[in-house]
Structure formats: structure tokens, C-alpha cells
């Protein structure tokens, strides 16, 4: 069964004691992990670093370096081209949800949540391991003081709207 974005947000745990005074924001948490150098470079290139340092909270489905390395070279090259900053920002924003979403919130459910782009992501907690749009969440629930990070094994590319034929 699908749960609506509103239902998912109601299941989001806000201010539940996750994170401590010593906790770092999402950017610092990712930097400390050492497996997100490509993601952090992309966030910087897209001009999203300041956003990921705001209080949020946010949930980030964070592709690790191996996920970025698996992108076809032409896609990676296009996204990291400074001329395509807006496209890169859209791709990265597609990995972020407003609010703190824990894997426990979707355990046993198939939930639609809205990314910062306004497009839906399907978080599936019905199997042994949770997925987001088919990407495996390989390390869930890493806490930062402004949200949660879930490591995923693929870069999510938002669907392109179909252009009407004239």
C-alpha cells in the first residue's frame, strides 16, 4: 500500500533527540565519512552547500563514491560541467526530502515522499532492506544535527517531464 507524502511527513520524527551537541551538519557528517567525496564536490559545484548546513531538518539519500563512479561517463561529465549547474542542482535536490525520515518510519510500507524538486520518490520498506526508487539503502539512519543521511548505491536521476508534441 502507498502512503501519501503527508502521511510520510506525519511519520517523520522531528526533534526526537537524534543528534547531540557534538553532532555535525549533513555536510560535515558526509565529509567525516570519507566515502562521499564525489557527492560533496557535486553539492559544492551546484551551490547547495549552504542549504545543507541550514537547520532543516532534511533527509538525504546520499549516493556514495561507488554510486557516482557507476554513472555512465557522459552523464557524469554532463552533470559536472559548470554550464549545467541547474541540472546538477536538480539531480542533487531530488535526493533530499524535507524533514527527518527514519527507515523505521517506512518499515513494512511503500511510501511516496516529495523530494525538494517537488517530484515523488518511492521509499520501499517492505523487503529485507529499504530502497528508494529501486536504489538500495546500504547504510540507513546516519544522524546529523540537521537531519538524517541514508547511504544509497545509485545516483537517482529525476524523471524528465514529457514535452507535448506541437
- What are the pLDDT digits (tens) for 81-93? 999 999 999 999 9
pLDDT of residue 111: 86
Q: For residues 127 and 140, which has the higher predicted lDDT (pLDDT)?
A: 140
**Predicted confidence (pLDDT) at residue 164 exceeds the cutoff of 70:** no
pLDDT of residue 20: 38
| Strand order from edge to edge, sheet including 131-132 | 2-3, 110-114, 120-124, 131-132, 135-144, 147-152, 58-63, 96-98
Report the 3 state secondary structure along the chain.
Answer: CEECHHHHHHHCCCCCCCCCCCCCCHHHHHHHHCCCHHHHHHHHHHCCHHHHCCCCCEEEEEECHHHHHCCCHHHHHHHHCHHHHHHHHHHHHCCEEECCCCHHHHCCCEEEEEECCCCEEEEECCCCCCEECCEEEEEEEEEECCEEEEEECCCCCCCCCCCCCC
Q: Over the stretch 88-127, which tens digit does the pLDDT of each residue have?
A: 999 999 999 999 998 888 888 888 999 999 999 999 998 8
pLDDT classification of 23: cutoffs 50, 70, 90: low
> How many Å apart are CA 59 and CA 141, to the nearest integer?
9
pLDDT of residue 14: 31
**Predicted confidence (pLDDT) at residue 21 exceeds the cutoff of 60:** no
| Domain boundaries along the sequence of the chain | 2-152
β-partners of residue 137 are: 152
Handedness of CA 133, 40, 92, 106 (dihedral sign): positive
**Per the CATH hierarchy, to which homologous superfamily does domain 2-152 belong?**
FAS1 domain (2.30.180.10)
**Predicted confidence (pLDDT) at residue 8 exceeds the cutoff of 70:** no
Closest CA to 18 of 105, 110, 94, 96: 105
Amino acid at each position: 500500500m502507498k502512503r501519501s507524502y503527508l502521511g510520510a511527513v506525519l511519520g517523520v520524527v522531528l526533534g526526537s533527540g537524534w543528534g547531540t551537541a557534538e553532532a555535525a551538519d549533513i555536510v560535515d557528517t558526509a565529509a567525516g565519512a570519507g566515502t562521499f567525496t564525489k557527492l560533496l564536490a557535486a553539492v559544492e559545484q551546484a551551490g547547495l552547500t549552504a542549504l545543507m548546513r541550514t537547520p532543516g531538518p532534511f533527509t538525504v539519500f546520499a549516493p556514495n563514491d561507488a554510486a557516482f563512479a557507476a554513472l555512465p561517463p557522459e552523464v557524469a561529465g554532463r552533470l559536472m560541467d559548470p554550464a549545467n549547474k541547474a541540472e546538477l542542482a536538480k539531480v542533487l535536490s531530488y535526493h533530499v526530502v524535507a524533514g527527518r525520515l527514519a527507515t523505521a518510519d517506512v518499515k513494512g510500507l511503500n511510501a511516496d515522499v516529495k523530494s525538494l524538486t517537488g517530484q515523488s520518490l518511492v521509499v520501499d520498506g517492505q523487503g529485507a532492506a529499504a530502497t528508494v526508487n529501486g536504489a538500495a539503502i546500504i547504510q540507513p539512519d546516519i544522524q546529523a544535527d540537521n537531519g538524517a543521511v541514508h547511504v544509497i548505491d545509485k545516483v537517482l536521476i529525476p524523471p524528465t517531464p514529457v514535452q507535448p508534441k506541437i
